[in-house]
Structure 1
Amino acid sequence: MSEGLRKRVVVTVSAGAVIGVVEVVLAISFAVLVFSGFLEDARPSGIGIYLVAASLTLAILAWRAGVRGVVGSVQDAAVPVLAIVASSAALHTFGGVDQAFLTVVAATMIVTLLTALTFLVLGTFRLGNLARFIPYPVVGGFLAGTGWLLMKGGIAVAASTDPQLGTIGQFVDRFELVRWLPALAFGVVLLVATRIVRRALVIPAVLVIGLVAFAIGLLVTGTSIQDARDGLWLLGPFRAARLWHPWTYRALTSSGTDWSAVFHEVPGMATAVFVAVIGCLFNVGGAELLLHTELDSNRELRDVGLLNVVSGLFGGIPGYHALSLTALAKQMDVDGRGAGLVAALVPLATVAFGASIVGLIPRMIVGGVLVFVGLSLLVAWLVDMRRSLPLGEYLIVPAIVLTIATKGIVTGLEVGLLLAVVLFAVNYGRIDLVREVPFGAAFRSNVDRPPGDRVTLEGLAERVQILRLNGFVFFGTARGLLERISKRAEASPMRFLVIDLRRVTGVDASGVFAFRKVALLAEASGFEVVFADTSERVQEQLQRGGLAASDGVVRFEPDLDHSLQRCEDELLAEAAPEGADGRGDGFTDLPPHLEPFLERRSLPEGTVLIHQGDRPDEVFVVESGRLRVEWVTPDGTRMRFNTVRPGVMVGEVALYTGLPRTADVIADVPSVVLALSRASIERLEAEEPERAAALHRWLATTLAVRLTDAQRVYSALLD
């Protein structure tokens, strides 16, 4: 073996041993917290189960992780919830300690296996980014709340009592300060050390210093090991000499488990699953930042799901990526896979040979580790996050923590979910759902009309209001939409209210109710509501809510263009003088004396006047009827581009550029057009140059008007 390889092996084994020792301390701390009070006699078995789970987590994640360097651990997120579940289940169990132990194991298995199933589902269906849909302050409140429970549990462990306390006052009254103050101080020292000293071995070093300080304290006070045991300063003595006691699934499924007590804890178990899943999703993202690499979150979830299936079958608690241990491996510059596999041997060795050693661990160390983990979460979310969150959002974090501290984790979860909904509604409600587009000079339908009609429509611009809606119309935005429409109706009389729903993704019951009130307002005020580009699902929702198409009140059109065309047609019809023939007055602008050069053509309905791709050799003016301009896509789909009315010219652009025709022009109804060929224009230029110049000025003016219209529409849409 080369010197370099030997050095790498030594460093990897050393790092693995350090990581394994830290993991052993964490696993023991979590087990001591869960198996407290009535379950204390079953604590050795609980410690053994948690150590086996720790070994499995380290080994499987070292093997399966998508990136070298990731280290796994049994996780703290669900532990305080499981401690509450265990305490309550033991309280509701009618048998002795053995039955209470099996009941807690059964509940833990269900939690871990359900967590595993959730991971597998999220990973399989590629929902790894699901955590981003939960508001950051709400997640922070949950994690800070679990931090409070861990800190409180650590103090209770140090004082050798049941961690399920009521108030802070009881905290102080029930415990002798001399028992839990050292644990609190040790946890604070660990926290300060890890935040100030950015070194790989700071946690193991502080643990060793704590053990040495405790030993010195025993020597100074003349306290023997037996006296320390009798005074409940140590975890031991244990009732059994081993940390692993075989239990069978038969015992779980038969009379050994009080299933009524298990079912009684369903809310708490569901909360544990939720918190564990959220913790994992955030730790995967944190590992990416820590290792400066990209992880496939869906693959990581599938791997963690597999890990928790195996761990759950042994009765272990949920485990996944550990940011602290991953950082430790990174700072020691070791291969995470090798270090993780070596570390996995340490908990197993502790189970096999370390019962007597575990019994000598001071309670202040175990409790202090729990205090450290809890304080880390509290400081991270209550102190550090204050600098990066707006005050309104930040206050959600202490609100959830306070609820968890006073009312319990389940109530805290309910309050958190409620605040998530409220926060979403408030934030989304601030988004301007409505975008007004000015009708008339700036925005009209894609119908080419003669100048006289255009002037008429510009004069009637205030009679049409266009609203373009975006996103989801729900109770947080519906009220503002209704108020906006009401104010507009009061400001000036409308004839049409056009609501473009093309970008609306959905409408809730409050949104439907708001639209119904708009329809009632329209009926009372004498305007018509036109819903444009409504999806089939949204239209079905509106119709179920009583918004069916009705004469003069509500109408549905396929898109905004058709909606505006219909509004314009009705406005022009209402404004036309009695007896008008509807031809339009565009012909008054034609240069005089063109009749000899024009060819009148009658077009039956459906006649194709211009074919897309044809060579341009004529320009046309519509005398009567209506033409539609369609663009044919490469796959054969036909898209309406424009509609041409009497008095309007078509085909002039291609005639000037000489490029092939870009669209089909089809007679929508029986129509008459006047054709002016390229040959006629050339003859006019040769015979009557002044009239030819007038013709070119007229064509140029028409092009300029169309360009100006296009610019106005573009500006209106961007505004």
Structure 2
Amino acid sequence: MDSMGATARTPMPTAIELSYNHEHSYVQEHSYTEETLPILHHVATVPEAVASSGKYTNILVYGITNAVILVPLMISFAQIIFRDPVFQPYLSELVKLAMVSGAVHQMCFSLSSTMPFAVGQVQDAGLIFLSAMASSIVHSLHKSDDQFVMQEVLSTTLFTLCGSTAFLGVALVITGKLRWASFVQYLPMPVVGGYLSFIGLYCFQAGLSMMSSLEINNFMDWPKLASWKSVALCLPGAIGGVFLFVAMQRVKHFAALPSAMMFILAVFYTVMWLIGASFDDARAHGWIAPLPTDGQMNFLDMYKHFKPAHFHSEFLLDQVPTWIAMYFVVAFSSSLDVAAIEMALHKPLDHNAELQTVGWSNLVSGFTGGFTGSYIFSSTIFSMKSGVNSRLTGAVIFVVEIALVLSPVSIIAYVPKLFFGSLQTLFAVDLIMEWIVHARKSMFLGEYCILWFTFLVMNVWNLEAGIVLGIAGAGVNFILSYVHTTVVRPVARQSLVKRDFRERTLLMQHRKAIVVLELDGFIFFGSSVHIMQQVREHVVWESPCPSHDPINAQDVVTLRTRFLVMDFERVRGVDVTAVRSCFNATKQMLSEHNITFAFANLPRNVQGMLDLHNVLDGCHVFSNLESALEWCEDDLLRMSGATPLHDQMHLYLQKGATVDLLSIFLPPPSDMHDDVLTDALAKLYIESALHPAGTVIYKSGSEVDGVYLVGKGTVEVYDDDGGMEHNDSRRARIVRVSNGAWLGDVDMVLNRRHSFTAETKTPTFIFCLKQSSLKAMRRDHPQLAARFDKAILQSMALWIFESHVAIRV
């Protein structure tokens, strides 16, 4: 997660793109617009030596450009890590130690990364933790009863920081080896955003502290700046940081940041020259850091504070929580950096392998007395877009940094504080704009509140508490969000049973007596209230007076609930709290109102949990929703007085009065009596037979010979896709046709082949009206044919109406 100012948005300097082939090598792909297509007769052959010379010139130019940007950043990072005032006299050595660490990181990335243009340095993701460790050790030593000299403070701090860096490297290597890179990415983004916002404010306060030579740790210290001298020292650096940010936003060129940085230095030195001020004058007034006490610096001066005899290990345990937080944040940010580079490359990268590269780099950095680091996304992308496909670019950065370290001159003793303050202000403005301002557009309100909560806790309390409480807040936000994603949908549908017209009319009138709720997701303690609320909302407890119109859509929403069916097909699991607080309570509530409770599609683990807590006692459990609806409709018809009709059917068949049985399924005859179905007409036009179970009435794809009416029994219509055997239990049932329902009517009306296969499930008495017989009836007995036509059309119209009401409800 690179946050080094607006450098992450460097535009492509040339029309060259790097692609990543399967052999992990990078090749240049040139792209041309219409205006820049090469004209072949103007192309001159470039000698190989000249091309090679141009290549190395580009490597040198872009390597130095990166170094010009990175070196001041390393110096600023060192000032942030060692921001406590006790370190100020030793800042020259500590700054060069940070530069050595940056050079070591760059060497490791150049040698081991799969990307030859990779840039790795000390990074901001971990430096705040190191700064917190350094300040914590100083404060702990000051509070101790023993008296400690400054050499002991330095040794304890440096050994702790480099040791933490080395152990972080080991942890990252192990994480990559175990292929756990995806695991560390579970750190919530709002928490990371709050942390990065805190980094921004922390950098700004560190810049104020450095420029004013005052200790500015939090908002409570800001009144210390209420003097003309402090304002004069800090204001130019703050303005310079805003200038750098605006320049990077407005000027889309890779040289914008280096040029703006050079401009700030040029302005400062020009003002010094105009007023006749010397470097000693500038140091005396606080504009430049003082010279080292020894005058000239030796390379080994950086390591003179690493004295094991002065190291106090008793303060290490206090840093363990900070180190754990640092591990997760650095691992997370490194994974995001790799993901960002991967997107820019348009090719996949091995996140675990790249995380191991970061780990080895931190391990070597720790052993050399350095600090945490990772990929610098902006510089890596800059090198990639520059078309510099060589590890020599990293070598140039390494050489420049080592040359400055070997120099006997202290850089900060000649470069103004406002310059480094400008860079730290740039970090602050960039991070705060990105995560406090622009993040609102890319996050939900709850996530944005978690970001602010994390940010405020880190400022009011401490870094570790902010991360822990931020993760806890993200967990609470997830629970609240998941409560609403654990969907409870009311399902308005009927069973796949096709009944006679009167039964279907009766079910339409009492449709709302059956309430179906489809549950979705993992049902846990947070979902209980939501599910109970939905039950209360959709279950009708009292029975208002219904209308007498049997086919009235208003009746669908007024009748009292008799059955509640919960469909668990989309449920992935349930916890014990939900079982006791939700389903037991629902069962008790329904029992008090004499409402039948049914479950469908219960997963085995859920059914076991419900059964363990006696929820299923007295309830009905079905293997699928279709069976549950079929049972509820049958019971509802029984309660609604449909049983005498079934008894009448059975009586007609016992007496052999099949014509009378057929007549009760047709619309009543008119007063003219010319449409009455007599025994003679029935023999003339109607065929009837009792079919044993398993008889195929028609097969899918066969010609339509007529229309069928089920007198008594059950016929299953199923999809015969693939020619499955008719007794195959795996076939998908389309509809079950029961007493008094028409069969094959749609295919006959549409004049097409049969779409499905029909087979008797039980011994079934079936009437058959052939197409030829229907034509003859329409010719010779049109009034009787009209009764049959009306019955068929009523059946299909009611089917359409049922579907329409189900969609509306």
Which of the five TM-score ranges fits, normalised by the shorter chain? Answer: 0.7 to 0.9
Shift of 1:495: 0.5
Shift of 1:20: 1.8
Structure 2 counterpart of 1:109: 166
Structure 2 counterpart of 1:34: 81
Structure 1 counterpart of 2:624: 559
Quick one: which of 398, 402, 421 aligns to 1:349? Answer: 402
Structure 2 counterpart of 1:534: 602
2:599, 2:293 → 1: CA distance? 75
Matches within 5 A, 1:468-479: 468-474=518-524, 477-479=527-529
User: What are the Cα deviations for residues 531-588 of structure 1, in whole angstroms up to 9, with x where unaligned?
Assistant: 32233344444445x363222xx33322222221111011112223675545767752
Structure 2 counterpart of 1:294: 346
Q: Does structure 1 residue 628 correspond to structure 2 residue 675?
A: no
2:723, 2:162 → 1: CA distance? 63
Q: Does structure 1 residue 312 correspond to structure 2 residue 402?
A: no
Q: Secondary structure at the match of 1:98?
A: helix
1:659, 1:327 → 2: CA distance? 64
Q: Does structure 1 residue 521 correspond to structure 2 residue 589?
A: yes
Quick one: which of 63, 74, 81 aligns to 1:16? Answer: 63
CA contact 2:169–2:361 (8 Å) conserved in 1: no
Q: Does structure 1 residue 155 correspond to structure 2 residue 208?
A: yes
Q: Secondary structure at the match of 1:468?
A: strand
1:111, 1:272 → 2: CA distance? 8
User: What are the Cα deviations for residues 321-373 of structure 1, in whole angstroms up to 9, with x where unaligned?
Assistant: 54543565578x44365684355434553466345354545344334322321
1:158, 1:44 → 2: CA distance? 16
Structure 2 counterpart of 1:83: 131
State the AA in 2 paired with 1:378: I
Change over 3 Å in CA distance of 1:276–1:574 after alignment to 2: same
Structure 2-normalised TM-score?
Answer: 0.73
2:278, 2:353 → 1: CA distance? 51
Quick one: which of 598, 601, 624 aligns to 2:690? Answer: 601
Tell me which moved more, 445-454 or 370-379. 370-379
Shift of 1:687: 8.1
Shift of 1:30: 1.7
Change over 3 Å in CA distance of 1:537–1:306 after alignment to 2: farther
User: What are the Cα deviations for residues 664-697 of structure 1, in whole angstroms up to 9, with x where unaligned?
Assistant: 444434x22225375xx53664588445895597
1:121, 1:323 → 2: CA distance? 25
Quick one: which of 567, 572, 589 aligns to 2:665? Answer: 589
* Structure 1 residues without counterparts, runs of 5 or longer: none
Q: Secondary structure at the match of 2:732?
A: strand
Change over 3 Å in CA distance of 1:420–1:21 after alignment to 2: same
| Higher Cα radius of gyration | 2
2:530, 2:60 → 1: CA distance? 64
Change over 3 Å in CA distance of 1:432–1:48 after alignment to 2: closer
- Counting matched residue pairs gives 693
Q: Secondary structure at the match of 1:550?
A: coil
Q: Secondary structure at the match of 2:124?
A: coil
Tell me which moved more, 232-241 or 266-275. 232-241
Shift of 1:189: 3.3
State the AA in 2 paired with 1:567: C
CA contact 1:601–1:675 (8 Å) conserved in 2: no
Q: Does structure 1 residue 570 correspond to structure 2 residue 635?
A: yes
Shift of 1:701: 5.0
CA contact 1:156–1:367 (8 Å) conserved in 2: no
Structure 1-normalised TM-score?
Answer: 0.81
Structure 1 counterpart of 2:463: 409
Structure 2 counterpart of 1:303: 354
2:392, 2:94 → 1: CA distance? 29
Quick one: which of 441, 449, 455 aligns to 2:505? Answer: 455
CA contact 1:502–1:535 (8 Å) conserved in 2: yes
Matches within 5 A, 1:185-584: 185-215=239-269, 220=275, 222-224=277-279, 228=283, 233-234=288-289, 237=292, 241-242=298-299, 261-283=315-337, 291=344, 294-296=346-348, 299-300=350-351, 302-315=353-366, 317-325=371-379, 328-329=382-383, 333-335=386-388, 337=390, 340-346=393-399, 348-350=401-403, 353-354=406-407, 356-358=409-411, 360=413, 362=415, 363-385=417-439, 394=448, 396-428=450-482, 433-438=487-492, 443-474=493-524, 477-487=527-537, 488-490=539-541, 492=543, 493-508=560-575, 511-512=578-579, 513-544=581-612, 546=613, 548-551=615-618, 554-576=619-641, 581-582=646-647
2:794, 2:121 → 1: CA distance? 71
Change over 3 Å in CA distance of 1:420–1:650 after alignment to 2: same
1:257, 1:715 → 2: CA distance? 81
2:309, 2:805 → 1: CA distance? 76
Q: Secondary structure at the match of 1:485?
A: helix
Q: Secondary structure at the match of 1:110?
A: helix
CA contact 2:72–2:420 (8 Å) conserved in 1: yes
Change over 3 Å in CA distance of 1:711–1:168 after alignment to 2: farther
2:178, 2:199 → 1: CA distance? 25
2:352, 2:290 → 1: CA distance? 35
State the AA in 2 paired with 1:88: S
Q: Secondary structure at the match of 1:642?
A: strand
User: What are the Cα deviations for residues 191-222 of structure 1, in whole angstroms up to 9, with x where unaligned?
Assistant: 33323433322322233334445545666564
Tell me which moved more, 534-543 or 202-211. 534-543
CA contact 1:109–1:313 (8 Å) conserved in 2: yes
Change over 3 Å in CA distance of 1:660–1:257 after alignment to 2: farther
Percent of pairs with identical residues: 20
Shift of 1:271: 2.2
Q: Secondary structure at the match of 1:599?
A: strand
Q: Secondary structure at the match of 2:739?
A: coil
2:259, 2:703 → 1: CA distance? 86
Quick one: which of 662, 684, 702 aligns to 2:792? Answer: 702
1:223, 1:382 → 2: CA distance? 42
User: What are the Cα deviations for residues 299-331 of structure 1, in whole angstroms up to 9, with x where unaligned?
Assistant: 356424423333334325554454543565578
Change over 3 Å in CA distance of 1:473–1:156 after alignment to 2: same
Q: Secondary structure at the match of 1:529?
A: strand
State the AA in 1 paired with 2:594: G
State the AA in 1 paired with 2:409: S
2:746, 2:573 → 1: CA distance? 42
Change over 3 Å in CA distance of 1:90–1:350 after alignment to 2: farther
CA contact 1:90–1:104 (8 Å) conserved in 2: no
2:357, 2:518 → 1: CA distance? 48
State the AA in 2 paired with 1:444: Q
1:698, 1:259 → 2: CA distance? 98
CA contact 2:109–2:357 (8 Å) conserved in 1: no
User: What are the Cα deviations for residues 407-444 of structure 1, in whole angstroms up to 9, with x where unaligned?
Assistant: 12122223322332344445555669333334xxxx31
1:608, 1:243 → 2: CA distance? 97
1:19, 1:587 → 2: CA distance? 94
Q: Does structure 1 residue 641 correspond to structure 2 residue 734?
A: yes
